[in-house]
Amino acid sequence: MVEQLAMSIVWLLVSMIFCSGFASNGASTTNVSTRPDVVKLGAIFSFDTLIGKVAKVAIEAAVEDVNSDPSVLGGTKMKVTMQDSNYSGLLGLIEALRFMEEDTMAIIGPLNAVTAHILSHIANELLVPLVSFSVTDPTLSALQFPFFVRTVQNGLYQMAAIADMVDYYGWREVIALYVDDDHGRNGITALSNKLAEKRCRISYKAPLVLDSNRDSITDVLVKVGLTESRIIVVHAYDSWGSLVFEVAKYLGMMGTGYVWIATSWLSTLIDTNSPLPSGTIDDMQGVLTLRMYTPETELKRKFVSRWSNLTSGRTSKGPMGLNAYGLYAYDTVWLLAHAINAFFDQGGNLSFSNDSRLTQLRGGDLNLDALSIFNGGNLFLKNILQVNMTGVSGQIMFTPQKDLVHPALEIINVIGSGIRKVGYWSNFSGLSVVPPETLYTKAPNHSNSSDKLYGVVWPGQTTQKPRGWVFPNNGRHLRFGVSRRVSFREFVSYTDGNDMFTGYCIDVFTAALNSLPYAVPYKLIPFGDGHKNPSVTELVHKIQTGEFDGAISDIAITTNRTRMADFTQPYIESGLVVVASVTPTLNSNPWAFLRPFSPMMWGVTAAFFVIVGTVVWILEHRQNDEFRGPPKRQLVTILWFSFSTWFFAHRENTVSTLGRLVLIIWLFVVLIINSSYTASLTSILTVQRLSSSIKGLEDLLSSNDPIGYQQGSFARNYLIDELNVDESRLVPLITPEDYAKALKDGPHKGGVTAVIDERAFIELFLASRCEFSVVGQEFTKTGWGFAFARDSPLAVDLSTAILKLSENGDLQRIYDKWLIRTPCASNGGKLQVDRLQLKSFKGLFIICGAACFLALAIYFCIMLRQFSRHYTEELVSTGGSTSARVQTFLTFVDEKEEEVKSRSKRRRMERLSNRSADDEAMSSSKRRHLDQSSSSPTFDNGNPA
């Protein structure tokens, strides 16, 4: 009633006074100097709460510290008037209006979200900043309430941390236990959104009245105990939150299997009243709670050491601890002091104005005409948001969204007589055991692999992580729908009268269920009329509509069905195959000798014969007379040499090293191909085989013959939707006898060409029917699983149980019991073409091709070297063109190597002979010159001798 009255008053004020905003054209009531002697601030909160008691001391200490340091405000003193709202939103509103009458620059507080929502409307109109160190409500948006400034961490981050914890431990559903007011509802809404990001959800919301007592808490917890989830998030107030755990312990809800996660109210209670009474701490053993993280700085250590002196003698109940809200309250005063100093440094004037319209309300008991607008409110707000300081709680700086930077929380586990820290959370790197400030130097990492927490002691004094859910204790058995099959009753069989189910699927389900570490109350409900096989897709759809909690049958896991329900791990592999009539025959086809190789294999093999022959001819042409001669003869030699290697009957000898290397590798390839061909042809001609008019799905789709399928199977929709088979071609069949008759009759006698069904059924069908066989390849890959309602934890647990059955051999033993049949099992194998494919010999051809290429490359390099040695001088002397050089090179390559060497030798001898003649001529010339010199007269001192 008080809250409703307060809201009525505020909306009355907004509609009558502030709907259009206050104008600044009224008379000025206060006009002081730029830097006054005293600045007035107000503070509104409940003094008797855990947060209020600590905050009052912290604010008083901060005001004293600010005023004792003249460098902060330049000689101006700060005066903070604190008023006790006494848990009342109405009193908080009235006290705020009184502050507005006294020209207050800013208001510190309030403590709770309800009052904050009310006062934020007034702050917006009067331009007076409302600075709260305790309201974490994430819905107090900076867009809607620009003059509301939060100097504490946004509660949105606390809910993000809880969502990360739930995801880290692998849970999917939680129960929200919360106080039914703005603080509780808005916080749980934020938690729901954060859980949805992790594909988790709140399965049950349990609101508590604002003034909860033992009876109201008991009523709510009894309902919680009947639900499925065992992960309980408590978002309450510290005044009665501990009573929740006391009642929970009384109801047996603090034992093994439960998980309790409390928001920061519990850490506040522990920090402020530590040590807690032994009875209280015993009630909350194993609980996880969050504490707003403040780094260990020198400022914080000094303030903590002062705390005992600041609080001594204030309470009669012993020492009062310091909680995180006290640190934020202390920093809030310093934040405002820095903002006030910046405000005056920028020429801000402490002036207030009235609106002329308020004079119409003069004379009323509310004295509303005395309310004034802070003219410098916008500038002051700007200075507040621009503050960047280091306080006792860490760095004080605002993001563009007006939240504090670097939000982080500690995750605490209540153990024994105290608490133990198990890790941290920050929006920078998620969960971690490393303090957040250490991680700020690294790149942000939110991957699951980086998430880590220390071990937790859970309720019940266990270190094993709770599963997080149980079957609800409301007496209801789980309803599992089971197909009432008419055919292939080895899988599922229903007996009328005693409502008994037997079969392979039932035994697997029962064995998996029995291996779970808990009992599952359930009831099997038959689905179908007993005259035809029911549609499995319709059975799964019944889970989606809520008629069944799960389904047990031959349920193939298909895309369409996964949209309706969750499935377990497959317990048997299956897939669609084609079954047709076959007859045992020997291959008497006149062209059977071509069957061992596929057409592609024949083509590639023939091409390589020619390629290898050509390569060997190139390598041998200049040295080997057997690879020389007229062009026609050389072509015949290439072809003869190539194909004669198939029989190893080639008569030509190879003399070059490269030619022999290529030939050795090719003969090895021929040996492998020849052996494979011989073995395959022998098998085709001598072994009795099953032949069919169709070879697989492709032949079936290309014809217009009727196709049979099992009634109720997904094969019908698959053929129509995926393979575009005309519906008129599809013939529904029920029993194995129907399969056999339709296949024997064939398409010309009212039967079918083939039947398409799942492999599991076909293997059972073929076990005693040798005249039919699987043809072609299996063209879908699926498996059978059990279906459950969306997000059912049973699907996960049963998947684990199925894997255990597979590992210990129980799954195979159940298969052998129901599905192994000995007669004709060997003849029911898959019919396939016995042709050898190119991919089987791909490696051999690659090796041979690489050898040919490498040999040609080496040979070409050798030819270039020899050509440059024998023909360079001639080409230089003649100065031939490029075409002439190419023609000369081709002529050189075509010549026999011996001729080239012989001609080169003759030219060398000629050059030597010419050089000798020249030398002899020069010697003669020199002798003649000497003779002439000796026959000339001799002179002495210019006179003849």
Q: Specify the 3-state DSSP secondary structure of 109.
A: coil
Averaged over 246-274, what is the pLDDT? Answer: 94
Q: Specify the 3-state DSSP secondary structure of 358.
A: helix
Residues 677 and 696 in one domain: no
Where is pLDDT greater, at 233 or 347? 233
Q: State the DSSP H helix or E strand holding residue 148, giving kind and residue range, or none if neither.
A: strand 148-150
Residues 165 and 286 in one domain: yes
> Is residue 877 a part of any domain in this protein?
no
Q: Tell me how far apart the alpha carbons of residues 470 and 175 are, in angstroms, rounded to a whole number.
A: 13
Q: Tell me how far apart the alpha carbons of residues 635 and 638 are, in angstroms, rounded to a whole number.
A: 5
Averaged over 838-865, what is the pLDDT? Answer: 85
> Is residue 470 a part of any domain in this protein?
no
> Is residue 459 a part of any domain in this protein?
no
Q: Tell me how far apart the alpha carbons of residues 754 and 699 are, in angstroms, rounded to a whole number.
A: 11
Averaged over 827-836, what is the pLDDT? Answer: 52
Q: Tell me how far apart the alpha carbons of residues 560 and 574 are, in angstroms, rounded to a whole number.
A: 17
Q: Per the omega criterion (within 30 degrees of 0), is the bond before 630 cis?
A: no
pLDDT of residue 446: 60
Where is pLDDT greater, at 872 or 466? 466
pLDDT of residue 75: 85
Averaged over 841-867, what is the pLDDT? Answer: 84
Residues 304 and 288 in one domain: no
Averaged over 27-56, what is the pLDDT? Answer: 79
pLDDT of residue 35: 82
- Asked if 259 contacts 231 with a C-beta cutoff of 8 angstroms, the reply is yes
pLDDT band of 831, cuts 50, 70, 90: very low
pLDDT above 70 covers a percentage of the chain that reads 81
Residues 84 and 97 in one domain: yes
Say which amino acid occupies 329.
A
Q: Tell me how far apart the alpha carbons of residues 762 and 812 are, in angstroms, rounded to a whole number.
A: 18
Q: DSSP class of residue 627?
A: G
Residues 277 and 174 in one domain: yes
* Mean pLDDT, the chain, whole residue set: 83
Tokens (6 digits) for 701: 């789709």
Tokens (6 digits) for 8: 């009525």
Residues 180 and 261 in one domain: yes
Can you list the positions of beta strands (E) in 183-295?
201-208, 231-235, 259-262, 288-292
- Sequential DSSP letters for 653-696: ---SHHHHHHHHHHHHHHHHHHHHHHHHHHHHHHS-EEE-S--S
Query: CA 381, 387, 392, 393 torsion: positive or negative?
Result: positive
> Is residue 584 a part of any domain in this protein?
no
Secondary structure percentages of the chain, helix, strand, coil, to 5? 50, 15, 35
Lowest mean per-residue pLDDT among 275-289, 338-352, 906-920: 906-920
Highest mean pLDDT among 22-31, 470-479, 527-536, 629-638: 527-536
pLDDT of residue 939: 40
pLDDT at 474 over 80: no
Q: What are 697-744's pLDDT values in tens digits?
A: 888 888 899 999 999 899 999 999 999 999 999 999 999 999 999 999
- Sequential DSSP letters for 503-562: SHHHHHHHHHHHTSSS---EEEEEES-SSSPPPHHHHHHHHHTTS-SEEESS-B--HHHH
pLDDT at 171 over 80: yes
pLDDT at 925 over 60: yes
Greatest alpha-carbon span in the chain: 164
Q: Tell me how far apart the alpha carbons of residues 628 and 617 are, in angstroms, rounded to a whole number.
A: 9
Number of structural domains found in the chain: 5
Q: DSSP class of residue 14?
A: I
pLDDT of residue 903: 62
pLDDT band of 649, cuts 50, 70, 90: low
Residues 415 and 285 in one domain: yes
Averaged over 784-809, what is the pLDDT? Answer: 92
pLDDT band of 906, cuts 50, 70, 90: low
Lowest mean per-residue pLDDT among 206-210, 377-381, 504-508, 774-778: 774-778
> Is residue 758 a part of any domain in this protein?
yes
Per DSSP, what are the bridge partners of residue 390?
395
Point out the domain boundary residue: 363, 396, 429.
396
pLDDT above 90 covers a percentage of the chain that reads 48
Q: Tell me how far apart the alpha carbons of residues 855 and 740 are, in angstroms, rounded to a whole number.
A: 62
Residues 63 and 111 in one domain: yes
Range of the domain at 656: 592-686
Averaged over 470-475, what is the pLDDT? Answer: 69
Residues 56 and 137 in one domain: yes
pLDDT at 15 over 50: no
pLDDT at 313 over 70: no
pLDDT of residue 822: 60
Averaged over 451-458, what is the pLDDT? Answer: 90
Where is pLDDT greater, at 896 or 95? 95
pLDDT at 646 over 80: no
Question: pTM higher than 0.75, yes or no?
Answer: no
pLDDT of residue 789: 92
- Asked if 826 contacts 773 with a C-beta cutoff of 8 angstroms, the reply is no
pLDDT of residue 927: 63
Q: Tell me how far apart the alpha carbons of residues 369 and 462 are, in angstroms, rounded to a whole number.
A: 64
Q: Tell me how far apart the alpha carbons of residues 510 and 545 are, in angstroms, rounded to a whole number.
A: 25
pLDDT at 517 over 90: no
Sorted by sequence, the CB contacts under 8 Å of residue 209 that are 6+ apart come out as 179, 180, 216
pLDDT of residue 17: 38
Say which amino acid occupies 722.
E
In the chain, count of helices (H) and strands (E)? 30, 37
Say which amino acid occupies 195.
L
Averaged over 426-448, what is the pLDDT? Answer: 80
Q: State the DSSP H helix or E strand holding residue 891, giving kind and residue range, or none if neither.
A: helix 882-894
Residue whose C-alpha is closest to residue 546's, from 742, 281, 789 = 789
Q: What are 47-90's pLDDT values in tens digits?
A: 889 999 999 999 999 999 999 998 899 889 999 999 988 877 78
pLDDT at 895 over 50: yes
pLDDT at 764 over 50: yes
Q: What are 396-429's pLDDT values in tens digits?
A: 999 999 999 999 999 999 999 889 999 999 988 8
Residues 203 and 170 in one domain: yes
Q: Tell me how far apart the alpha carbons of residues 45 and 135 are, in angstroms, rounded to a whole number.
A: 11
pLDDT at 163 over 80: yes
- Sequential DSSP letters for 469-497: B---SSSPPEEEEEE--SS-TTT-EEETT
> Is residue 5 a part of any domain in this protein?
no
Residues 223 and 273 in one domain: yes
Q: Tell me how far apart the alpha carbons of residues 811 and 762 are, in angstroms, rounded to a whole number.
A: 20
Say which amino acid occupies 639.
L
| Phi, psi of 825, deg, nearest 5 | -65, -30
Highest mean pLDDT among 254-268, 366-380, 757-771, 908-922: 254-268
Q: What are 319-362's pLDDT values in tens digits?
A: 789 999 999 999 999 999 999 999 999 988 888 887 665 555 55
Sorted by sequence, the CB contacts under 8 Å of residue 357 that are 6+ apart come out as 17
pLDDT band of 687, cuts 50, 70, 90: low
Can you list the positions of beta strands (E) in 56-112?
77-84, 106-108
Query: CA triplet 337, 342, 346: central angle to 5 degrees?
Result: 150
Point out the domain boundary residue: 623, 657, 686.
686
Tell me whether strands 772-775 and 576-581 are parallel, antiparallel or unpaired.
antiparallel
Residues 665 and 610 in one domain: yes
> Is residue 111 a part of any domain in this protein?
yes
Q: What are 117-130's pLDDT values in tens digits?
A: 989 988 988 899 99
| Phi, psi of 628, deg, nearest 5 | -125, 170
pLDDT band of 14, cuts 50, 70, 90: very low
Indicate which CATH number applies to the domain containing 321.
3.40.50.2300
Lowest mean per-residue pLDDT among 23-27, 472-476, 494-498, 825-829: 23-27
Point out the domain boundary residue: 396, 420, 451.
396
Indicate which CATH number applies to the domain containing 810.
3.40.190.10
Averaged over 578-593, what is the pLDDT? Answer: 72
Q: Tell me how far apart the alpha carbons of residues 556 and 561 are, in angstroms, rounded to a whole number.
A: 8
- Asked if 149 contacts 131 with a C-beta cutoff of 8 angstroms, the reply is yes
> Is residue 401 a part of any domain in this protein?
no
- Asked if 271 contacts 418 with a C-beta cutoff of 8 angstroms, the reply is no
- For tokens 């012989």, the residue is 902
Where is pLDDT greater, at 448 or 640? 640
Can you list the positions of beta strands (E) in 270-372?
288-292, 351-353
